[in-house]
Structure 1
């Protein structure tokens, strides 16, 4: 099992753990008073009994604690196994396709306590559909859906999907739900909610997870969010802060973190980072160099403890880094710019572009043991047509999402010399 504890969570400070410490202290006191009371009368015995009673009461938070206290890494066998077994056990299949629509804005009030309690209003377009279909992770249970007039609507929640029946034309729907995820947690201790996770309703039916882990879901275009988080602790998002735990702005995925985090600045850029196990001076230096190298500026950079799928995700005006080491940040940034449909070819493209000798050595090694890998085949094309031809062709293919070829089909064409590139 791969163990990777969340440094921002503060496991030892969970209330049930503090009560557990108190139990041992009180039990020791009770034992001491018990022996003392043998010689000093009934008052001491009564006090000893009271101490035992208090110790017993301290066990209650431990016994009745919420499952949202149990945090898994989706990369370890237990966390991943729980998700896979859920889908296999329930034989979840996607419902029939619903009519297409867009969510034009979100208004969210999130209360983080024992679990996540959410009231989320989504503005929808078009407004005259009979059925609206949404994706919401199955760990969150919908209690009620209302239209803009406050009228309760019929809905059906099946696995990760919620089907809502409208009662005439409606411009918005308000969901009330609560629940938790053991990987992407949100409770009174903190939050680790990546923008790629369906903890708020998404338009249409999408699979949230499969045998390979969580799907990484982002919105098709930047969407307006207005968010209020009800908790006495300070939380952080990839939106502009407008008040105490209040945020507003546009993004393709709302990211929320809370726990052991601090704020700083890199020039005019806001920096949010895990305050445990991180050197803020190193963070500033690395991201300052990155912005200078790629001529980019960001409103916010987040160095967070999240299970995001990518070590670096670019939300436009916000950059979210979730890796352990800052050493390969240039490669992480390169891969963050590669469209999802080209993700499995991104690493080879990076090595060819920026680590040419390493690419050649990989190709030679694979060829020596009779393997016809992508490294071998791209190297063959470079031998025939030159590095510059391959670089331009690879760059064009990576970012042209209208090109429907698979990476292997592209490499076959690369070896034929048929790529139409400008010299």
Structure 2
């Protein structure tokens, strides 16, 4: 797949406010994602302590995503109404508290309740973080910046298992949540003290009331098709991250330390692919179909073969190929809406996109747990091939550039969109 050219044939450095914002949001997202990933690596220990079946273990993962998904759109509405910075700080503070409390869970029921509350608190962060970035960056640099920020998710997937294994071995699974909560406090203070002010938008926007166009955005079918594309991508990512550690332990006899090291390989590939995808998305002005269709074809072919791999090495190799291909699509899937819409509307819009992804976080762990109990892990992993098919179909049903995207928008939303989001013919030549 040839690398798409950036505007004017080269990449310009990120602006100062964007660079600082990238660093701070990278740290916040790293903690956010590490908090979510911990459960996948301590799940066998929790299952042993509370005597849980695989279906019940899948439920522990899925209830978080249910709450996380349900709070996406309300979180976007609140971010548009009261500000991205305020919502991001509130979310980080509250989920840090529930991270610590998860380490004190005394029963399966208590764990489920804490996971729900944890999900509600974390769920308002993505829209707020996206709004924080949009307010402090230019449209033409947003996907590069966002690619760098969200590569933190994959890097967290590298470092989390490496840190979790020795902590669990030495102090038990509860110590992991206390440790991550302590790191959350430091990130909260950095974000509170160092985040730069928003860029000044001197244009006269058609709607002065934050959140005034919420209903219009929620009814906009185009955004929901982008959300469906995000669902397809996330089905792959959350399905693999939720069950590969347990599969390696239970089916292949790989201990937690070795499983963490093996999981680092696809995670590093995903981090690289996320950054590359962000550069490609900015370089093409969106146009996600050029990337999504070939990449998701690779993922769709790799996953069923991976499910029936004859060795751990082949399983990890094919999983790495599937994850790399899927992660190339992450930023392109988000590119057209985030590049096109103004900061006035980005909270709700990004909430809709992330909601689609988090629905996959509800579906994948539970369905895969049921399939593993009823049939086999081979059936569970083969199920994930549905994700790239959904993403590819939605890529064909969504606008490929800003002009086409905004042509279907409400007049006020279209008028508020930054002119800089529209690439010129010279830039695309």
State TM-score, norm by structure 1: 0.23
Higher relative contact order (CA 8 A, sep 6+): 2
